[in-house]
Amino acid sequence: MTSTTERVAIVTGGSGGIGQASALRLAADGTAVVVHYNGSKERADETVTAITESGGRAVAAGGDIAEEPTATTLFDVAEREFGGVDVLVHTAGIMPLSPVAQLDLEVFDRVQRVNVRGTFIVDRLAAQRIRPGGAIINFSTSITRLQTPSYGAYAASKAAVEAISLILARELRGRDITVNTVAPGPTATALFLDGKSPELIEQIANNNPFRRLGTPKDIAETVAFLAGPARWVNGQTIFVNGGAA
C-alpha cells in the first residue's frame, strides 16, 4: 500500500460525461483518482492517461456498480494504490425515457437497480471507509423539480438518491464527513443528447436564461467545491442548472 497525505477520490462513471470531467477537475486540484467504468474501459484509460500525463495520479477500475463486490473493489484499489479514500463522487447512472403508461417494468426495475441500489451500495461502503474530513457527493437531477414528461422512472430513482443522501448526512454525525447531492440541469453529455433531435436540444437550451446547455465542466466545478473547501455545506441538494425552469 502506498502511503500518502494527498486526498483520494473514487469517481464512479468516470469514463464519460460529468464523471470524466469531475475526475479531471479533481486531479487538477492534486487529488488522486480511481476512475470507475462499466462499459467503456477505453475512455476510462484515456482519462487516466490525461491525468498522469499532467502529473497527477490515477488508476482505472471497472464493473457493475450495483454489485457489492465491484463497489468494494473500488475502495480496495483506492486504499492499495493511494492509501485510503477521502471523496466519493457517484455519477454512474442510466436514463431510459418513456411515458409512465408505456414504460416496460423491466426497464423501470433496471433504472432503480442501477440508480438507487448502486447509490445505496457505494454510499454504505463510503460511510464505513471514508476518512475524517471526507466528502460523499451523489448525483440527482433537476428533473425532479422540472417535472419533464417521459422522465418518470429516472426522476423517481433520483428522488430516492436525494433522500438517501440527506439521511446519510445526519447518520454520519461526529464523523467530519459531508454528504451532498448535485442535481444538474440539461447538460451536453452523451447520456442526455442520445435520441434527441437538434430542434429539441435547441428548445431545451433556450429554456435556460443563458440559452445554452450546461457542460460537464460546469458541473465538475461544483463537485470540486464540495470535494474540498465546502466543509460547511452538508445534507444539501444543490441544483446546478444555470437557472433552468
Residue 185: left if φ>0, alpha if ψ -120 to 50, beta else—which one? beta
Residue 238: beta bridge partners? 182
The reply to whether 154 belongs to the active site is yes
Which residues in 36-68 are b (16+ Cβ under 10 Å) and which e? Answer: bbbebeebbbebbebbeeeebbbbbbbeebbee
Q: Could you write out the three-class secondary structure of 148-190?
A: CCCCHHHHHHHHHHHHHHHHHHHHCCCCCCEEEEEEECCECCH
Are the C-beta atoms of 29 and 58 separated by less than 8 Å?
no
Would you mind telling me the total number of residues written for the chain in this entry?
A: 245
Residue 195: left if φ>0, alpha if ψ -120 to 50, beta else—which one? left
The active-site residue, picked from 75, 139, 151, 154, is: 154
What's the Rg (C-alpha) of the chain? Answer: 17
Spatial separation of the C-alpha atoms in residues 35 and 91, rounded to whole Å: 11
Spatial separation of the C-alpha atoms in residues 15 and 12, rounded to whole Å: 8
- If DSSP codes are grouped into helix, strand and coil, which group holds residue 80? helix
Residues with a catalytic annotation lie at: 154
